[in-house]
Amino acid sequence: MDRLAELIERIDWARWSGPALSAMRIVLIVVAAWLAIVVLQRLVRLVRNRVETHLDGTDTAKRAETLARVVRYLITMIVGAVAVMLVLAEVGVSLAPILGAAGVVGLAIGFGAQSLVKDYFTGFFLLFEDQIRKGDIVTVAGMSGVVEDITLRHVRLRDYAGDVHFVPNSLVTTVTNSSRSFANAVIEIGVSYRENIDEVMAVMNTVARQLRADEAYGARILGDLEIAGVERLDQQAVTVKSRIRALPGEQYGVRREFLRRVKEAFDANNIEIPYPHVTFYAGVNKDGKAPAMPLSLSRASKS
């Protein structure tokens, strides 16, 4: 104890008081920055929860969640940058030369990283203009899928096969969003030329009414079947085009179930969904006329 007391007495407190105070200030800066990040991010979460509680609609909830995630990211970046500059100032590093050099280096990097800068600008406007939200079904840069995450840097999509695509925001020139307000299940059905089109449309309307009355699918459908009419006269079929308005994201399941029920209804009413037809000719006479080959002969030639 005597030796320890002697060592303490020998310490030049005037010499070490400055570094000690500087170290304490650095610790306080780090702790204050950490507390600021935690408090501000928690405040952002509270605001997001308040918005989701008082405003109706899943679209509002998705937008609030997406914006809250980006705001938390910006809070971390800004508070962290301020804390680093304050710590450097405490250590005795002059910020003026660093900021000047950073400006020159930043200019050089800007020319070499234009796509990165474009990523951030495009990501900002994607969020500001509410073009994409988490959970939306979109097509961007030739990729389609559900938006799992969107940042200022990229959009993360997961397609139907489960593959994840990271699309840089700089590549996003056009956004096709299938998850806003409503979606249409567009349906094209081909029937044989011998069928009565009015009868075909009547069967389709009946199937659509039954589908909308179904408990499992009725809540997903927002309107009656809209038949546009005959879309094309193909070589083997007459194509009838129609659509059903559904909730966003539900149009695919509604379309599949409608087609399944239409197939059953067509079978019950003897309405033909045609296969390609081929007519064989044995040859051409000198007068340019030739009858079709009888079915029995064509089978015999194949055998």
pLDDT digits 0-9 by tens, 256-286: 999 999 999 999 999 998 877 666 666 666 6
State the pLDDT at residue 95.
64
Asked whether residue 210 carries a pLDDT value surpassing 60, the answer given is yes
Q: What dotted CATH number matches 10-126? A: 1.10.287.1260
Write the CB contacts of 14 (distance below 8 Å, at least 6 apart in sequence).
none
Cα gap 210→128, rounded to integer Å: 42
Give the percent of the chain with pLDDT over 90. 35
pLDDT digits 0-9 by tens, 233-256: 988 899 999 999 999 889 999 999
Residue pair 213/146 in contact by the 8 Å Cβ criterion: no
Cα gap 226→241, rounded to integer Å: 9
pLDDT digits 0-9 by tens, 102-124: 665 565 555 556 777 788 788 88
Residue 274 tokens, joined: 């045609």
pTM: 0.61
3-state helix/strand/coil string of the chain:
CHHHHHHHHHCCHHHHHHHHHHHHHHHHHHHHHHHHHHHHHHHHHHHHHHHHHHCCCHHHHHHHHHHHHHHHHHHHHHHHHHHHHHHHHHHCCCHHHHHHHHHHHHHHHHHHCHHHHHHHHHHHHHHHCCCCCCCCEEEECCEEEEEEEECCCEEEEECCCCCEEEEEHHHCCCEEECCCCCEEEEEEEEECCCCCHHHHHHHHHHHHHHHHHCHHHHCCECCCCEEEEEEEECCCCEEEEEEEEECCCCHHHHHHHHHHHHHHHHHHCCCCCCCCCCCCECCCCCCCCCCECCHHHHHHHHC
Which pLDDT band holds residue 300 (cuts at 50, 70, 90)?
very low
- The CATH class for the domain spanning 132-177 reads mainly beta
Q: Where are the domains of the chain?
A: 10-126, 132-177, 181-303
β-pairing, 137-140 with 143-150?
A: antiparallel
Which pLDDT band holds residue 156 (cuts at 50, 70, 90)?
very high
More confident residue, 140 or 68: 140
Selecting from 3.40.190.10, 3.20.20.450, 3.30.70.100, 3.90.550.10, what CATH number does the domain 181-303 have?
3.30.70.100
